[in-house]
Structure 1
């Protein structure tokens, strides 16, 4: 819009001497008519300059407001990935949300191709996966921890900002409207319209993002894909010699190829991918192309641990009189 306005002003300035020259040469009153048109525009601008200014500023502050929603969704998605990994860290199972992302590489929330090619969320997912997949880790539980609240994923700072913006808009708009609504048209308060409009849309975009990123919507996606919201897949099932590992590699290759094609298209290059140059591409999903030597030990450990946890029952230890010769020392023995 601003570029179009600049073009209009530019040609309006050029037309002034051009119409004068045409009138002098061809004896047609085109210059006089052009001055009359400029006079009408001047009168309109003089009468409505305030609303023109309000409209211009309103456009400038709200033209990219949708990015508030996209950025909020990206932030919540990134935070939620970390919290889900922490939930499942004491189990032998891969977090369901990571399993879903590995098979269905996540795209940027925005559809802007420039944002799509630079989005690093999938790269982060693969990096987390690489850091964990070839670790022969023990586990102490078969069930994950309780989920963090949606509020924690949103972030207390963002939530406070949202509440402050909503409170200001509601208070300011209500105070003026209840006092004298005509101030929005004739009073100096009308110049606050761009700010009120921005904060109203800001609040709306934030709320839309929060609603889109609720756990209930995530559970529906996981249930539709896996048949349940929290499937228990072992990390071993995502090794490259397993069916899910093979699907992971196919998805990774397809995502890298598509991302590079979009990068080439954005920079006016060939659609055929010859080199992978986009720094936002995810690395190879595994630390090594060779399987670790302790795979059999991992399977045996898992089976033994499952038997131990299945057969273990809580035992009641009777209290004993303390021997006078015993010191006041408690022997903590890790089971």
Structure 2
């Protein structure tokens, strides 16, 4: 069957949410948030801190392989850090040429590199030389910086540099995350490169997935915000593809989601300092509101709260069991 990939999302899909979403199931692999490479050789612990799955065979606890993504603009520095990462045996190494964040783009990284296909080629070729063939080496790009004038040249450059697959977020940097995603461009890219091309952008529902595959001519799809807003989306897509129909009982889904929310809250509280934990929960609930009326009610109940203990009490009132430390 066609592959489903869990997208990297800086500041949202970290190892904790990857654990929860891959535990639900349906994903063939996940890609980490980017590891920023900006002039120094990072120690192994820098990769392990962002991607603790590296200590578990580069898999989430549910067994989903994790590809580690690097972001930078210097070919030599990226290659040096990729060689360091290779020693940790990641399930794959991916290069980020799609991030639209101003803080990244100001330093010439992410999507800004799409203005210079020749630099893309230099970067990919340098990293290709240090990544052994048994470790999949991929890249992710957008359609361009402000327009699609260089889209196909960029895709050709990445392919010529030696990647084995390409994820395409079907919008330019200037588009940001505004709909629509221009899936037709993925079909055009597939026509000029031999490597598999994975479609990405604006897949929120099973129907979106079907349309994306049809328009892009790609059977492989990466899902980001849609996966965060509906943790069961990948399973719904799998069920539809298997001819099992798509369950529409959102109340039952909420019951299944409650223990996952409890696990997420517990792990977040253990991972970050107490003052940051509420914000992380609210961020996910904010996305879940798109599909679950219960998440809307819960979000409104915790929105003004800043304390871990008071939020835990509200979660329990909403049927979400919270484990408290003994003693």
TM (norm. structure 2) is: 0.23
Structure possessing the higher radius of gyration over alpha carbons: 1
Q: Which has the higher strand share?
A: 2
TM (norm. structure 1) is: 0.23
Q: Which has the higher helix share?
A: 1
